């Protein structure tokens, strides 16, 4: 068929459009819960620029403290700055598979929220360091140098994850992706709740509260979709989810707990550097939870996820690091990862 041939001259109606095709011309309703979440996302939208920045004076902290707090925001950015493109990919997928109208809108809202979270990381780091890029910034203290080395390694590891994610999205049904998303959202809701509770700096406290509320909505989206799709899920997808949960644990531990060294490619002094930074940040009123509290919180988040997956007969992986028994999963690689924040 020549490129210029006009089908319209040969037939009354056009041929069917080959599927999957990126755009649905339909606005099906189905999951009422998702309409509620969308409405909430419209109501609860917040603006990073409108936080009480006037109350924030970085000069109140010494340079060691500034670099230590900026490091925490940088660690968070390794996850939150990848979230906008990660959800943008998932958002496109909801169009390709002609998801319900409200599902498309909900993924749009998650993409928008995550972009906001990323802005927040940037706003905090830029003010604390008086520099917009924690990797090219010149550290002013010895601790700052050690923490920047950590940041460089975190960034390197996060970059490996992006390639794997892009390959995974077309391969897996949305239903499988939801379990990984849910895991990220449970983790995020947990950490922001903790940070909001302990933080003394008003602008950070308010940001943490807002972000935590956003993450709660993201969790609700995943749960609603799981409720819709999991009762009819195929067995092979269940096995895949078990593996993803283990991978998600390893990946997200870096921000929720401490990075497992056999999975993350990090130098030997990484954890010591990070702990030194956390101690300084805590003393300055930036309440990063202590080791045992992190462990307990992360364990509870995992048990929370387990209770959801149990409902659908999806085996939970063993997570001996936090004392959870289950199916043993080995040989997890960065390229197997779907979880996001
Ligand atoms: Fe987020
Ligand atoms: Fe999120």
Residue 164's pLDDT is: 79
Higher pLDDT: 21 or 277? It is: 277
Is residue 110 assigned to a domain?
yes
Residue 83 lies in a domain: yes
* Local confidence band at 171 (pLDDT 50, 70, 90 cut-offs): confident
Please say whether the beta carbons of 83 and 56 come within 8 A.
no
Peptide bond into 20 cis (omega under 30): yes
- State the chain's mean pLDDT as an integer: 91
Per the domain annotation, does 109 fall within a domain? Answer: yes
Neighbours of ion ligand 2 (CB under 5 A): 215, 218
295 part of a folded domain:
yes
Query: Measured in angstroms, how far is the CA atom of residue 104 from the centroid of ligand 1?
Result: 18
> Which ligand gives the minimal distance to the CA of 340?
2
In a domain, 234, yes or no: yes
CA of 113 to the centre of ligand 2 (A): 7
Given a cut of 70, whether residue 2 has pLDDT beyond it is no
Query: pLDDT digit string (tens) for 195-253?
Result: 998 899 999 999 999 999 999 999 999 989 989 999 998 888 888 889 888 988 988 89
Decide if pLDDT at 1 tops 60. Answer: no
Range among 37-41, 257-261, 285-289 with highest mean pLDDT value: 37-41
Q: Encode pLDDT of 95-140 as tens digits.
A: 998 999 999 999 999 999 999 999 999 999 999 999 999 999 999 9
- 113 alpha carbon to ligand 1 midpoint, in Å? 7
State the residue range of the domain holding 161. 30-42+58-336
**% of the chain beyond a pLDDT of 90:** 61
Query: What percent of the chain is modeled with pLDDT above 70?
Result: 97
Nearest listed ligand to the Cα of residue 117: 1
pTM for the model: 0.92
Query: Is the predicted pLDDT of residue 3 greater than 70, yes or no?
Result: no
Residue 68 domain flag:
yes
Give the count of domains, the chain. Answer: 1
- CATH number, domain at 84? 1.10.620
Q: Does the residue 21 lie in any domain?
A: no
The confidence score (pLDDT) of residue 22 equals 76
Residue 25 inside a domain? The answer is no
Q: How sure is the predictor about 306, in pLDDT bands with cuts at 50, 70 and 90?
A: very high
Question: What's the 222 CA to ligand 1 centre distance in angstroms?
Answer: 14
**Confidence band of 327 (pLDDT split at 50, 70, 90):** confident
| pLDDT bucket at 340, cuts 50 / 70 / 90 | low
pLDDT at residue 168 tops 60:
yes
Q: According to the model, what pLDDT value does residue 50 have? A: 98
Nearest CA among 246, 240, 237 for reference residue 183: 246
């Amino acid at each position: 068929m020549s490129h210029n041939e006009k089908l319209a001259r040969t037939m009354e109606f056009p041929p069917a459009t080959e599927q999957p095709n990126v755009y649905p011309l339909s606005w099906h309703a189905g999951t009422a819960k998702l309409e509620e979440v969308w409405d909430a996302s419209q109501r609860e939208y917040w603006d990073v620029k409108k936080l009480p920045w006037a109350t924030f004076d970085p000069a109140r902290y010494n340079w060691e403290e500034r670099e230590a707090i900026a490091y925490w925001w940088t660690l968070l950015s390794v996850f939150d700055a990848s979230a906008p493109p990660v959800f943008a990919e998932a958002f496109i997928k909801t169009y390709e598979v002609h998801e319900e109208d409200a599902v498309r809108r909900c993924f749009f809202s998650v993409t928008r929220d995550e972009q906001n979270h990323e802005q927040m990381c940037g706003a905090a780091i830029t003010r604390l360091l008086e520099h917009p890029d924690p990797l090219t910034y010149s550290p002013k203290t010895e601790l700052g140098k050690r923490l920047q080395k950590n940041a460089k390694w975190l960034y390197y590891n996060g970059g490996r994850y992006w390639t794997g994610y892009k390959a995974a999205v077309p391969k897996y049904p949305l239903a499988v992706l939801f379990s990984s998303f849910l895991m990220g959202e449970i983790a995020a809701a947990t950490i922001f709740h903790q940070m909001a509770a302990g933080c003394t700096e008003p602008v950070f406290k308010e940001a943490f509260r807002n972000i935590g509320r956003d993450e709660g909505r993201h969790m609700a989206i995943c749960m609603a979709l799981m409720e819709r799709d999991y009762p009819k899920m195929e067995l092979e997808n269940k096995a895949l989810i078990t593996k993803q949960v283990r991978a998600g644990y390893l990946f997200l531990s870096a921000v929720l707990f401490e990075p497992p060294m056999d999975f993350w490619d990090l130098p030997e002094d990484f954890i010591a550097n990070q702990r030194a930074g956390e101690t300084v940040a805590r003393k300055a009123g930036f309440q990063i939870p202590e080791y045992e509290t992190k462990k307990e919180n992360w364990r509870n988040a995992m048990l929370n996820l387990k209770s959801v997956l149990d409902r659908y007969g999806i085996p939970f992986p063993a997570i001996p690091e936090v004392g959870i028994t289950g199916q043993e999963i080995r040989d997890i690689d960065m390229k197997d990862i779907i979880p996001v924040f």
